[in-house]
Structure 1
Protein backbone atom coordinates (compact mmCIF):
# COMPACT_ATOMS: atom_id res chain seq x y z
CA UNK A 1 0.00 0.00 0.00
CA UNK A 2 1.53 3.34 -1.03
CA UNK A 3 1.41 6.58 0.93
CA UNK A 4 -1.54 8.04 -0.95
CA UNK A 5 -3.61 4.90 -0.42
CA UNK A 6 -2.76 5.14 3.27
CA UNK A 7 -3.70 8.82 3.22
CA UNK A 8 -7.08 8.06 1.65
CA UNK A 9 -7.79 5.19 4.05
CA UNK A 10 -6.99 7.32 7.12
CA UNK A 11 -9.20 10.12 5.86
CA UNK A 12 -12.10 7.80 5.06
CA UNK A 13 -11.98 6.24 8.53
CA UNK A 14 -11.00 9.20 10.67
CA UNK A 15 -11.48 12.44 8.75
CA UNK A 16 -15.13 12.61 7.67
CA UNK A 17 -14.60 16.25 6.77
CA UNK A 18 -12.51 15.14 3.78
CA UNK A 19 -13.77 13.63 0.55
CA UNK A 20 -11.71 12.69 -2.45
CA UNK A 21 -12.14 14.29 -5.86
CA UNK A 22 -9.45 13.04 -8.21
CA UNK A 23 -6.15 13.79 -6.52
CA UNK A 24 -7.60 16.66 -4.51
CA UNK A 25 -9.04 16.44 -1.01
CA UNK A 26 -11.86 18.88 -0.35
CA UNK A 27 -12.75 20.06 3.12
CA UNK A 28 -16.51 19.59 3.14
CA UNK A 29 -17.03 20.55 6.79
CA UNK A 30 -16.13 23.89 8.36
CA UNK A 31 -12.42 24.69 8.26
CA UNK A 32 -11.47 22.60 11.27
CA UNK A 33 -7.91 23.86 11.32
CA UNK A 34 -9.25 27.23 12.47
CA UNK A 35 -11.51 25.82 15.19
CA UNK A 36 -10.86 25.64 18.91
CA UNK A 37 -12.94 22.49 19.21
CA UNK A 38 -13.32 19.50 16.93
CA UNK A 39 -16.48 17.43 17.01
CA UNK A 40 -15.76 13.81 16.18
CA UNK A 41 -18.34 11.45 14.67
CA UNK A 42 -18.24 9.36 17.86
CA UNK A 43 -19.59 12.44 19.70
CA UNK A 44 -16.25 13.11 21.41
CA UNK A 45 -15.70 16.85 21.74
CA UNK A 46 -11.97 17.43 21.66
CA UNK A 47 -10.72 20.78 22.90
CA UNK A 48 -7.94 22.32 20.83
CA UNK A 49 -5.67 25.11 21.96
CA UNK A 50 -3.92 27.34 19.46
CA UNK A 51 -0.38 28.42 20.29
CA UNK A 52 1.39 30.83 17.97
CA UNK A 53 4.97 29.93 17.07
CA UNK A 54 5.88 33.20 15.40
CA UNK A 55 6.26 33.77 11.68
CA UNK A 56 8.08 31.73 9.07
CA UNK A 57 10.28 33.89 6.85
CA UNK A 58 10.24 32.83 3.18
CA UNK A 59 12.63 34.37 0.63
CA UNK A 60 13.04 31.66 -2.03
CA UNK A 61 9.45 30.43 -2.22
CA UNK A 62 10.53 26.83 -1.53
CA UNK A 63 9.97 25.12 1.81
CA UNK A 64 11.53 22.01 3.31
CA UNK A 65 10.29 19.84 6.17
CA UNK A 66 13.02 17.76 7.79
CA UNK A 67 14.27 15.80 10.78
CA UNK A 68 16.74 18.00 12.71
CA UNK A 69 18.91 14.94 13.41
CA UNK A 70 19.51 14.36 9.69
CA UNK A 71 22.80 15.64 8.23
CA UNK A 72 22.14 19.24 7.20
CA UNK A 73 22.72 18.48 3.53
CA UNK A 74 19.55 16.36 3.69
CA UNK A 75 17.46 19.20 5.11
CA UNK A 76 17.13 20.83 1.67
CA UNK A 77 14.61 18.47 0.06
CA UNK A 78 11.88 20.94 -0.91
CA UNK A 79 8.17 20.33 -1.07
CA UNK A 80 6.50 20.35 -4.46
CA UNK A 81 4.65 23.69 -4.43
CA UNK A 82 5.99 27.24 -4.35
CA UNK A 83 4.69 29.62 -1.67
CA UNK A 84 4.71 33.44 -1.52
CA UNK A 85 7.75 35.19 -0.13
CA UNK A 86 7.29 37.09 3.10
CA UNK A 87 6.69 36.45 6.81
CA UNK A 88 3.83 33.99 7.33
CA UNK A 89 1.94 33.20 10.53
CA UNK A 90 2.55 29.77 12.05
CA UNK A 91 0.91 28.02 14.98
CA UNK A 92 0.36 24.66 16.59
CA UNK A 93 -2.90 23.13 17.78
CA UNK A 94 -2.54 21.14 20.98
CA UNK A 95 -4.94 18.66 22.54
CA UNK A 96 -5.17 16.33 25.51
CA UNK A 97 -3.54 12.99 24.72
CA UNK A 98 -4.42 10.67 27.59
CA UNK A 99 -1.46 9.73 29.78
CA UNK A 100 0.76 11.98 27.65
CA UNK A 101 -1.07 15.11 28.77
CA UNK A 102 -1.29 18.09 26.43
CA UNK A 103 0.57 17.43 23.17
CA UNK A 104 1.06 19.04 19.79
CA UNK A 105 -1.63 17.69 17.46
CA UNK A 106 -1.09 19.74 14.33
CA UNK A 107 1.28 22.36 12.92
CA UNK A 108 -0.08 25.01 10.56
CA UNK A 109 1.46 27.76 8.41
CA UNK A 110 -0.90 30.16 6.62
CA UNK A 111 -0.09 32.24 3.54
CA UNK A 112 -1.42 35.77 2.93
CA UNK A 113 -4.69 35.21 4.74
CA UNK A 114 -6.27 33.08 1.98
CA UNK A 115 -8.76 30.40 3.03
CA UNK A 116 -8.14 26.76 2.06
CA UNK A 117 -10.94 25.25 0.00
CA UNK A 118 -9.16 22.10 -1.17
CA UNK A 119 -6.59 19.83 0.49
CA UNK A 120 -3.98 17.72 -1.20
CA UNK A 121 -1.08 15.60 -0.02
CA UNK A 122 2.27 17.36 -0.31
CA UNK A 123 5.20 15.64 -2.02
CA UNK A 124 8.95 15.89 -1.59
CA UNK A 125 11.04 16.80 -4.64
CA UNK A 126 13.21 13.72 -4.14
CA UNK A 127 10.24 11.35 -4.17
CA UNK A 128 8.80 13.01 -7.28
CA UNK A 129 12.16 12.46 -8.97
CA UNK A 130 12.95 8.92 -7.86
CA UNK A 131 9.45 7.50 -7.26
CA UNK A 132 7.07 9.63 -9.35
CA UNK A 133 4.32 7.00 -9.25
CA UNK A 134 4.42 6.78 -5.45
CA UNK A 135 5.56 10.15 -4.10
CA UNK A 136 5.56 10.35 -0.33
CA UNK A 137 3.79 12.99 1.73
CA UNK A 138 5.14 11.66 5.04
CA UNK A 139 7.99 13.16 7.03
CA UNK A 140 9.80 10.46 8.98
CA UNK A 141 11.57 11.61 12.13
CA UNK A 142 13.75 10.03 14.81
CA UNK A 143 14.18 13.26 16.75
CA UNK A 144 10.60 13.56 17.98
CA UNK A 145 10.75 16.95 16.26
CA UNK A 146 10.27 18.33 12.77
CA UNK A 147 12.05 21.31 11.30
CA UNK A 148 10.56 23.66 8.73
CA UNK A 149 12.27 26.39 6.78
CA UNK A 150 12.90 28.19 3.54
CA UNK A 151 15.71 26.70 1.45
CA UNK A 152 17.70 29.92 1.65
CA UNK A 153 17.50 29.89 5.47
CA UNK A 154 18.77 26.31 5.53
CA UNK A 155 21.63 27.19 3.16
CA UNK A 156 22.46 30.18 5.35
CA UNK A 157 22.71 27.98 8.43
CA UNK A 158 24.88 25.44 6.60
CA UNK A 159 27.27 28.21 5.56
CA UNK A 160 27.43 29.50 9.13
CA UNK A 161 28.23 26.00 10.39
CA UNK A 162 30.91 25.56 7.72
CA UNK A 163 32.59 28.83 8.73
CA UNK A 164 32.45 27.91 12.41
CA UNK A 165 34.02 24.52 11.74
CA UNK A 166 36.79 26.12 9.66
CA UNK A 167 37.41 28.66 12.45
CA UNK A 168 37.66 25.89 15.05
CA UNK A 169 34.68 27.18 17.01
CA UNK A 170 32.88 23.83 16.72
CA UNK A 171 33.97 20.36 15.68
CA UNK A 172 31.07 19.38 13.45
CA UNK A 173 27.36 19.84 12.73
CA UNK A 174 26.50 17.89 15.86
CA UNK A 175 28.07 20.60 18.02
CA UNK A 176 25.90 23.24 16.32
CA UNK A 177 22.77 21.15 16.88
CA UNK A 178 23.76 20.65 20.51
CA UNK A 179 24.00 24.40 20.98
CA UNK A 180 20.63 24.89 19.29
CA UNK A 181 19.07 22.29 21.56
CA UNK A 182 20.50 24.00 24.65
CA UNK A 183 19.32 27.41 23.49
CA UNK A 184 15.86 26.24 22.52
CA UNK A 185 13.61 23.51 23.83
CA UNK A 186 12.71 22.06 20.44
CA UNK A 187 9.01 21.68 21.15
CA UNK A 188 7.71 24.75 19.34
CA UNK A 189 10.42 27.30 18.71
CA UNK A 190 11.50 30.00 16.29
CA UNK A 191 15.26 29.69 15.64
CA UNK A 192 16.94 32.74 14.16
CA UNK A 193 19.65 32.03 11.59
CA UNK A 194 22.49 34.53 11.71
CA UNK A 195 21.84 38.25 12.13
CA UNK A 196 19.26 38.65 9.38
CA UNK A 197 15.57 37.77 9.13
CA UNK A 198 16.12 34.12 8.20
CA UNK A 199 14.63 31.59 10.60
CA UNK A 200 13.71 27.94 11.06
CA UNK A 201 10.78 26.58 13.04
CA UNK A 202 11.11 23.45 15.19
CA UNK A 203 7.97 21.67 16.36
CA UNK A 204 7.66 18.68 18.69
CA UNK A 205 5.78 15.82 17.01
CA UNK A 206 3.07 15.12 19.55
CA UNK A 207 4.19 11.95 21.32
CA UNK A 208 7.39 10.97 19.53
CA UNK A 209 9.04 9.52 16.45
CA UNK A 210 7.29 8.23 13.35
CA UNK A 211 6.03 9.25 9.93
CA UNK A 212 3.65 12.21 9.80
CA UNK A 213 1.55 13.44 6.84
CA UNK A 214 1.98 16.84 5.25
CA UNK A 215 -0.95 18.53 3.47
CA UNK A 216 -1.33 21.62 1.33
CA UNK A 217 -4.46 23.69 1.75
CA UNK A 218 -5.22 25.31 -1.61
CA UNK A 219 -7.10 28.56 -2.12
CA UNK A 220 -9.83 28.97 -4.73
CA UNK A 221 -7.19 30.06 -7.28
CA UNK A 222 -5.21 26.86 -6.72
CA UNK A 223 -2.35 28.57 -4.89
CA UNK A 224 -1.15 27.40 -1.44
CA UNK A 225 -3.13 28.97 1.39
CA UNK A 226 -1.81 26.75 4.20
CA UNK A 227 0.65 24.01 5.01
CA UNK A 228 -0.39 21.46 7.63
CA UNK A 229 1.56 18.68 9.36
CA UNK A 230 -0.66 16.29 11.31
CA UNK A 231 0.65 14.32 14.28
CA UNK A 232 -2.36 11.94 14.19
CA UNK A 233 -3.65 12.98 17.62
CA UNK A 234 -6.95 14.15 16.14
CA UNK A 235 -7.71 10.78 14.59
CA UNK A 236 -10.30 8.69 16.39
CA UNK A 237 -8.60 5.36 15.82
CA UNK A 238 -5.26 6.61 17.08
CA UNK A 239 -6.82 8.26 20.13
CA UNK A 240 -8.22 4.92 21.30
CA UNK A 241 -4.65 3.91 22.15
CA UNK A 242 -4.05 6.98 24.31
CA UNK A 243 -6.37 6.06 27.19
Structure 2
Protein backbone atom coordinates (compact mmCIF):
# COMPACT_ATOMS: atom_id res chain seq x y z
CA UNK A 1 0.00 0.00 0.00
CA UNK A 2 1.61 3.33 -1.02
CA UNK A 3 2.60 5.65 1.79
CA UNK A 4 0.75 8.87 2.48
CA UNK A 5 2.06 11.75 0.39
CA UNK A 6 4.04 14.25 2.45
CA UNK A 7 2.81 17.84 2.46
CA UNK A 8 5.23 20.54 1.39
CA UNK A 9 6.18 23.11 4.06
CA UNK A 10 3.84 25.63 2.40
CA UNK A 11 0.96 23.15 2.24
CA UNK A 12 1.43 22.24 5.89
CA UNK A 13 1.57 25.90 6.94
CA UNK A 14 -1.49 26.70 4.80
CA UNK A 15 -3.53 23.93 6.46
CA UNK A 16 -2.49 25.08 9.93
CA UNK A 17 -3.31 28.70 9.09
CA UNK A 18 -6.72 27.73 7.73
CA UNK A 19 -7.69 26.18 11.06
CA UNK A 20 -6.35 29.18 12.95
CA UNK A 21 -8.43 31.84 11.19
CA UNK A 22 -11.95 33.11 12.00
CA UNK A 23 -12.00 32.32 15.72
CA UNK A 24 -13.99 34.67 17.93
CA UNK A 25 -10.94 35.98 19.78
CA UNK A 26 -7.14 35.81 19.96
CA UNK A 27 -4.50 37.00 22.46
CA UNK A 28 -3.75 40.70 22.15
CA UNK A 29 -0.12 39.97 21.30
CA UNK A 30 -1.29 38.28 18.09
CA UNK A 31 -2.84 41.55 16.87
CA UNK A 32 -0.01 43.76 18.15
CA UNK A 33 2.56 41.56 16.41
CA UNK A 34 1.41 42.68 12.99
CA UNK A 35 2.16 46.37 13.47
CA UNK A 36 4.71 46.68 16.30
CA UNK A 37 7.83 46.34 14.14
CA UNK A 38 8.06 42.56 13.95
CA UNK A 39 6.78 42.79 10.37
CA UNK A 40 7.11 45.61 7.83
CA UNK A 41 4.28 48.16 8.01
CA UNK A 42 3.31 49.78 4.71
CA UNK A 43 0.98 52.75 4.22
CA UNK A 44 -1.34 51.57 1.45
CA UNK A 45 -3.49 54.68 0.99
CA UNK A 46 -6.62 56.31 2.37
CA UNK A 47 -10.24 55.22 2.23
CA UNK A 48 -13.20 57.62 2.14
CA UNK A 49 -16.19 56.86 4.36
CA UNK A 50 -18.93 59.35 3.44
CA UNK A 51 -21.52 57.29 5.36
CA UNK A 52 -19.31 55.52 7.91
CA UNK A 53 -20.81 52.16 6.89
CA UNK A 54 -17.86 49.78 6.53
CA UNK A 55 -17.83 47.16 3.78
CA UNK A 56 -15.41 44.23 3.54
CA UNK A 57 -15.28 42.36 0.24
CA UNK A 58 -13.30 40.84 -2.53
CA UNK A 59 -13.39 43.92 -4.79
CA UNK A 60 -13.32 42.05 -8.08
CA UNK A 61 -15.96 39.44 -7.23
CA UNK A 62 -18.26 40.77 -4.53
CA UNK A 63 -17.98 44.53 -3.92
CA UNK A 64 -21.31 46.14 -4.73
CA UNK A 65 -23.17 42.81 -4.70
CA UNK A 66 -25.33 41.00 -2.17
CA UNK A 67 -22.26 38.93 -1.23
CA UNK A 68 -20.26 41.82 0.22
CA UNK A 69 -20.14 42.07 4.02
CA UNK A 70 -21.40 45.29 5.59
CA UNK A 71 -20.47 45.61 9.24
CA UNK A 72 -22.87 46.34 12.08
CA UNK A 73 -20.75 49.00 13.76
CA UNK A 74 -20.66 52.42 12.11
CA UNK A 75 -17.58 54.66 12.24
CA UNK A 76 -17.57 58.49 12.04
CA UNK A 77 -17.77 59.75 8.47
CA UNK A 78 -14.34 60.77 7.22
CA UNK A 79 -11.20 59.44 5.54
CA UNK A 80 -8.90 56.90 7.18
CA UNK A 81 -5.52 55.39 6.38
CA UNK A 82 -4.93 51.74 5.59
CA UNK A 83 -1.78 49.97 6.77
CA UNK A 84 -0.58 46.55 5.66
CA UNK A 85 1.63 44.16 7.62
CA UNK A 86 4.09 42.63 5.15
CA UNK A 87 5.54 39.22 5.95
CA UNK A 88 8.78 38.03 4.31
CA UNK A 89 8.75 34.28 4.63
CA UNK A 90 11.22 31.64 3.40
CA UNK A 91 8.19 29.38 2.95
CA UNK A 92 5.57 31.73 1.47
CA UNK A 93 7.61 34.64 0.09
CA UNK A 94 6.34 38.23 0.41
CA UNK A 95 2.75 38.26 1.67
CA UNK A 96 0.20 40.67 3.16
CA UNK A 97 -0.24 39.10 6.60
CA UNK A 98 -2.85 41.61 7.84
CA UNK A 99 -4.58 44.86 6.93
CA UNK A 100 -5.56 47.63 9.33
CA UNK A 101 -7.97 50.54 8.98
CA UNK A 102 -6.65 53.21 11.38
CA UNK A 103 -9.70 55.05 12.72
CA UNK A 104 -8.28 56.99 15.67
CA UNK A 105 -5.09 57.35 17.67
CA UNK A 106 -6.76 56.24 20.91
CA UNK A 107 -5.13 53.21 22.58
CA UNK A 108 -6.86 49.89 21.97
CA UNK A 109 -8.03 48.37 25.25
CA UNK A 110 -10.21 45.53 23.94
CA UNK A 111 -10.99 43.52 20.81
CA UNK A 112 -14.25 42.37 19.28
CA UNK A 113 -14.91 40.29 16.19
CA UNK A 114 -16.68 42.39 13.56
CA UNK A 115 -20.29 41.32 13.08
CA UNK A 116 -22.21 41.82 9.82
CA UNK A 117 -24.93 44.44 9.56
CA UNK A 118 -28.03 43.50 11.56
CA UNK A 119 -26.18 40.95 13.71
CA UNK A 120 -24.91 41.36 17.26
CA UNK A 121 -22.03 39.63 19.02
CA UNK A 122 -24.36 37.63 21.26
CA UNK A 123 -25.84 35.98 18.13
CA UNK A 124 -22.49 34.47 17.12
CA UNK A 125 -22.79 30.70 16.91
CA UNK A 126 -26.46 30.69 16.02
CA UNK A 127 -27.50 28.98 12.75
CA UNK A 128 -26.89 31.19 9.73
CA UNK A 129 -24.77 33.72 11.65
CA UNK A 130 -21.18 34.16 10.51
CA UNK A 131 -18.55 36.89 10.59
CA UNK A 132 -16.37 36.23 7.58
CA UNK A 133 -16.31 37.62 4.04
CA UNK A 134 -15.35 35.55 1.02
CA UNK A 135 -12.36 36.02 -1.28
CA UNK A 136 -12.30 34.38 -4.72
CA UNK A 137 -9.86 36.62 -6.63
CA UNK A 138 -7.07 36.77 -4.04
CA UNK A 139 -7.95 40.38 -3.13
CA UNK A 140 -9.74 42.17 -0.30
CA UNK A 141 -10.67 45.77 0.41
CA UNK A 142 -11.99 48.29 2.91
CA UNK A 143 -14.74 50.46 1.44
CA UNK A 144 -17.72 52.58 2.40
CA UNK A 145 -21.24 51.36 1.58
CA UNK A 146 -21.73 54.30 -0.79
CA UNK A 147 -18.41 53.58 -2.47
CA UNK A 148 -19.49 49.98 -2.98
CA UNK A 149 -22.49 51.26 -4.93
CA UNK A 150 -20.24 53.59 -6.92
CA UNK A 151 -18.01 50.63 -7.73
CA UNK A 152 -20.97 48.50 -8.83
CA UNK A 153 -22.04 51.22 -11.26
CA UNK A 154 -18.47 51.71 -12.52
CA UNK A 155 -17.99 47.97 -13.11
CA UNK A 156 -21.34 47.70 -14.91
CA UNK A 157 -20.43 50.60 -17.23
CA UNK A 158 -16.97 49.15 -17.87
CA UNK A 159 -18.35 45.71 -18.76
CA UNK A 160 -20.96 47.29 -21.02
CA UNK A 161 -18.20 49.04 -22.95
CA UNK A 162 -15.90 45.99 -22.83
CA UNK A 163 -18.18 42.95 -23.21
CA UNK A 164 -15.27 40.67 -24.10
CA UNK A 165 -12.92 42.19 -21.54
CA UNK A 166 -11.66 41.11 -18.14
CA UNK A 167 -11.76 43.92 -15.58
CA UNK A 168 -8.65 42.73 -13.76
CA UNK A 169 -6.41 41.96 -16.73
CA UNK A 170 -7.65 44.86 -18.84
CA UNK A 171 -8.00 47.56 -16.18
CA UNK A 172 -6.59 46.82 -12.72
CA UNK A 173 -3.49 44.74 -13.63
CA UNK A 174 -1.67 47.82 -14.92
CA UNK A 175 -2.38 49.71 -11.68
CA UNK A 176 -1.10 46.83 -9.56
CA UNK A 177 2.01 46.55 -11.73
CA UNK A 178 2.68 50.28 -11.28
CA UNK A 179 2.33 49.87 -7.53
CA UNK A 180 4.80 46.98 -7.58
CA UNK A 181 7.29 49.02 -9.61
CA UNK A 182 7.02 51.88 -7.12
CA UNK A 183 7.46 49.65 -4.03
CA UNK A 184 9.22 46.45 -5.15
CA UNK A 185 10.64 45.88 -1.67
CA UNK A 186 7.25 45.10 -0.12
CA UNK A 187 5.29 43.34 -2.86
CA UNK A 188 5.52 40.73 -5.56
CA UNK A 189 6.12 41.62 -9.18
CA UNK A 190 2.44 41.60 -10.14
CA UNK A 191 1.57 43.98 -7.27
CA UNK A 192 -0.09 43.39 -3.90
CA UNK A 193 -1.96 46.64 -3.23
CA UNK A 194 -3.32 49.79 -4.82
CA UNK A 195 -4.93 53.00 -3.60
CA UNK A 196 -7.69 53.76 -6.09
CA UNK A 197 -10.56 56.16 -6.58
CA UNK A 198 -13.76 55.10 -8.30
CA UNK A 199 -13.94 57.43 -11.33
CA UNK A 200 -16.06 60.36 -10.19
CA UNK A 201 -16.45 58.85 -6.72
CA UNK A 202 -14.66 57.93 -3.50
CA UNK A 203 -11.37 56.27 -2.61
CA UNK A 204 -10.82 52.69 -1.48
CA UNK A 205 -7.86 50.33 -1.17
CA UNK A 206 -7.38 46.89 -2.66
CA UNK A 207 -4.80 44.45 -1.31
CA UNK A 208 -3.77 40.82 -1.55
CA UNK A 209 -5.39 38.50 0.97
CA UNK A 210 -2.44 36.64 2.44
CA UNK A 211 -2.29 33.25 0.75
CA UNK A 212 -5.23 34.09 -1.50
CA UNK A 213 -8.77 32.77 -1.73
CA UNK A 214 -10.64 31.84 1.43
CA UNK A 215 -12.83 33.32 4.15
CA UNK A 216 -11.59 35.99 6.54
CA UNK A 217 -12.95 37.83 9.56
CA UNK A 218 -12.13 41.33 10.81
CA UNK A 219 -11.67 42.48 14.41
CA UNK A 220 -12.42 45.86 15.96
CA UNK A 221 -9.87 47.41 18.27
CA UNK A 222 -11.92 49.41 20.78
CA UNK A 223 -10.80 52.35 22.92
CA UNK A 224 -11.58 52.93 26.59
CA UNK A 225 -14.99 54.36 25.69
CA UNK A 226 -15.91 51.36 23.53
CA UNK A 227 -15.53 53.25 20.23
CA UNK A 228 -13.62 51.76 17.26
CA UNK A 229 -9.98 52.83 17.11
CA UNK A 230 -9.01 50.37 14.38
CA UNK A 231 -10.24 47.45 12.30
CA UNK A 232 -7.82 44.59 11.56
CA UNK A 233 -8.16 41.74 9.07
CA UNK A 234 -5.68 38.93 9.85
CA UNK A 235 -4.81 36.80 6.83
CA UNK A 236 -1.86 34.80 8.17
CA UNK A 237 -0.34 33.84 11.49
CA UNK A 238 3.34 34.75 10.93
CA UNK A 239 4.45 32.06 13.38
CA UNK A 240 3.40 29.38 10.89
CA UNK A 241 5.52 30.70 8.04
- Which residue does 1:7 correspond to in 2? 23
Counterpart among 193, 196, 214 of residue 188 in structure 1: 193
Contact kept in structure 1, 2:211 and 2:236, CA below 8 Å: no
> How far 1:163 sits from its partner (Å)?
4.2
Secondary structure of 1:148's aligned partner? strand
> How far 1:91 sits from its partner (Å)?
0.7
Contact kept in structure 1, 2:73 and 2:117, CA below 8 Å: no
CA distance in 1, matches of 2:214, 2:224: 32
> How far 1:178 sits from its partner (Å)?
4.0
Return the structure number with greater relative CO, CA threshold 8 A, min gap 6. Answer: 2
Between the two proteins, the alignment pairs up a number of residues equal to: 203
> How far 1:68 sits from its partner (Å)?
2.7
> How far 1:99 sits from its partner (Å)?
2.4
- Which residue does 2:41 correspond to in 1? 50
Structure 2-normalised TM-score? Answer: 0.72
Contact kept in structure 2, 1:63 and 1:148, CA below 8 Å: yes
The answer to whether the aligner puts 1:108 opposite 2:100 as a matched pair is yes
> How far 1:69 sits from its partner (Å)?
3.8
- Which residue does 1:79 correspond to in 2? 71
Counterpart among 141, 154, 159 of residue 135 in structure 2: 141
How do residues 171-210 of structure 1 correspond to structure 2 at under 5 angstroms?
A: 171=163, 175-185=166-176, 187-196=192-201, 198-210=202-214
Secondary structure of 2:91's aligned partner? helix
The answer to whether the aligner puts 1:97 opposite 2:89 as a matched pair is yes
- Which residue does 2:59 correspond to in 1? 68
CA distance in 2, matches of 1:162, 1:33: 36
- Measured against aligned partners, the alpha-carbon deviations of 1:24-78 in whole angstroms (never above 9, x if no partner) come to xxx8xxx4454102xxxxxxxxxx1011001111101101111234254235431
Structure 1-normalised TM-score? Answer: 0.72
Q: Structure 1: which 5+ runs fail to align? A: 19-26, 38-47
Q: Structure 2: which 5+ runs fail to align? A: 1-18, 177-190
CA distance in 1, matches of 2:92, 2:197: 30
- 1:82–1:6 Cα change, 3 Å: closer
> How far 1:88 sits from its partner (Å)?
0.6
CA distance in 2, matches of 1:200, 1:75: 18
The answer to whether the aligner puts 1:17 opposite 2:9 as a matched pair is no
- 1:192–1:75 Cα change, 3 Å: farther
RMSD between aligned residues: 2.9
